[in-house]
Amino acid sequence: MSTQTSDKPARNTTAWWREADRKHHLSPFTDYKQLKESEAGARIVTRAEGVWLTDSEGVRILDGMAGLWCVNVGYGRKELAEAAYKQMLELPYYNTFFKTATPPPVELAEKLAEITPAGLDMVFYGSSGSESNDTVARLARFYWKLKGKPEKAHFISRTYAYHGSTMAAASLGGMTPMQEGYGLPLPGFHHVDPPYWFDFGGELDREEFGRQAAKQVEDKILEIGPDKVAAFIGEPIQGAGGVIIPPDSYWPEIQRICRQYDVLLVADEVICGFGRTGYMFASEHFGIEPDMMTMAKGITSGYIPLSGVMVSGEIGRTLVEAGGEFFHGYTYSGHPTACAVALANIDIIEREELVRKVREETGPHLAKRLAELAEHPIVGEVRSLGLIGALEIVQKKRPRTRFPGNGKAGTICRDHCFAHNVVLRAVRDGMVMAPPLTISTEEIDELVSRLRTCLDLTAKDLGAG
């Protein structure tokens, strides 16, 4: 009897995982045809510790993006695994519908009211930033309905904004590829230019440009009608849009405009929150006093899904005093295990003084090292705040001129970074970074050194230098 040998790869090997990934796994934001036809396939990450990933081939990779802007306290924190384990043994799950609560979401709500910007007193839970921004759209319309102004149902956001991937969240966002061909944005969602001085500021002074960018919001409110606008939403720093750090003049003017026209101001802190900017929330740095604030990612450092919408005392009082059921919620709103992990995560951030360290030590060190790259022949600008930063790749520094093919230069540099085992992200022709808040100054040096090498290689590929 003859035996046949199979050429199928052995199970739980790199080859097997890659083949199974191609056949059965639909990854987010992926060109599936391109992935299937690629020779290498997906890189399989199997372990992580601190700021380092390890793939299935044993290669160590410096994670300059903290996963997806989220692993704030770094990988391998046993305290978070133990918090989940303990809670799962006691009460793994129960819902918060039907006049029911469990201890962890209640305890976390009290803690969030303590650490978030003044005036934010109550929280509505979800599992992702997308869900929380979807909740914002529903909750803002519900609030204005309770106030006797149901016609206030329109939202204003910015181009390059990222607020998530649900139909409502993608409508709030300003990412054109996420909207074209999907019937988005939905009716009632409007966009203005972002405060992106490098691309849109021309020869204007940065502060004057900031005021002009804010005026676009006022002009849009007047165009729609103040009696029809429910809210303006913005990330204090637009992360996925390219780490757009606004001029200092921008947010005070946005605050004034929203107050003048009775428009709710929503701060999306999904990326910026929980220490990323050297403040617990970036709203503190920019002096934003939001009526609602969304958060996710760093709330559990990405160890388990959780998100929330903080609301002001005024909104909370209206919900309580006016009455009427808010027909909205998720199976996992206030998931006890996720909330237990969040409490342990916040404890680490506070106990290890990560916010202070980012503001006084690692953030300034990253800024100093990035500033050295400003002299590179294809770098047009560097910018950072805390442990979130970016640099712009240009063909010519003055006047600011991009390389032909929007995004081509950024993609080349990103691919070199992957090949040199440092995870950075390309946004158009910019390179962005947001490493774990636990990164050391020596690891920052290593990140910048690898990035410099990749910029050299990119310049060579582009015939520049």
| Owning domain of residue 272 | 78-351
In the chain, the percentage of residues whose pLDDT exceeds 90 is: 94
Q: What pLDDT, on a 0 to 100 scale, did the predictor assign at position 64?
A: 98
Rounded distance, CA 328 to CA 309, Å? 13
* Domain-terminating residue out of 295, 317, 351: 351
Number of domains forming the structure of the chain:
2
Q: Are residues 61 and 99 in the same domain?
A: no
Q: Read off the CATH number of the domain in which 284 is found.
A: 3.40.640.10
Looking at this protein, which amino acid is placed at residue 79?
A: E
Tell me the per-residue pLDDT of 84-124, one tens digit each, with 9 for 90 and over.
Answer: 999 999 999 999 999 999 999 999 999 999 999 999 999 99
**Residue 232's beta-bridge partner residues?**
156, 265
Q: Are residues 95 and 48 in the same domain?
A: no
If pLDDT is split at 50, 70 and 90, which confidence band does 1 have? Answer: very low
* Domain-terminating residue out of 302, 317, 351: 351
Q: Are residues 347 and 277 in the same domain?
A: yes
Contacts of 375 (CB under 8 A, 6+ apart): none
Evaluate whether residue 19 is within a structural domain: no
Q: Are residues 286 and 416 in the same domain?
A: no
Q: Are residues 177 and 67 in the same domain?
A: no
Evaluate whether residue 30 is within a structural domain: no
Q: What is the mean pLDDT of residues 256-264?
A: 98
Q: Are residues 261 and 296 in the same domain?
A: yes
Which tokens hold the place of 339?
């909330």
- Please give the mean pLDDT across all residues of the chain: 96
Tell me the per-residue pLDDT of 196-240, one tens digit each, with 9 for 90 and over.
Answer: 999 999 999 999 999 999 999 999 999 999 999 999 999 999 999
Rounded distance, CA 385 to CA 244, Å? 10
**Residue 63's beta-bridge partner residues?**
423
Q: Which has more confidence, 38 or 252? A: 252
Helices (H), 70-205: 78-90, 103-115, 129-146, 167-172, 197-200
Flag whether pLDDT at 2 surpasses 70. Answer: no
Q: Read off the CATH number of the domain in which 69 is found.
A: 3.90.1150.10
Tell me the per-residue pLDDT of 285-324, one tens digit each, with 9 for 90 and over.
Answer: 999 999 999 999 999 999 999 999 999 999 999 999 998 9
SS3 label, residue 115: helix
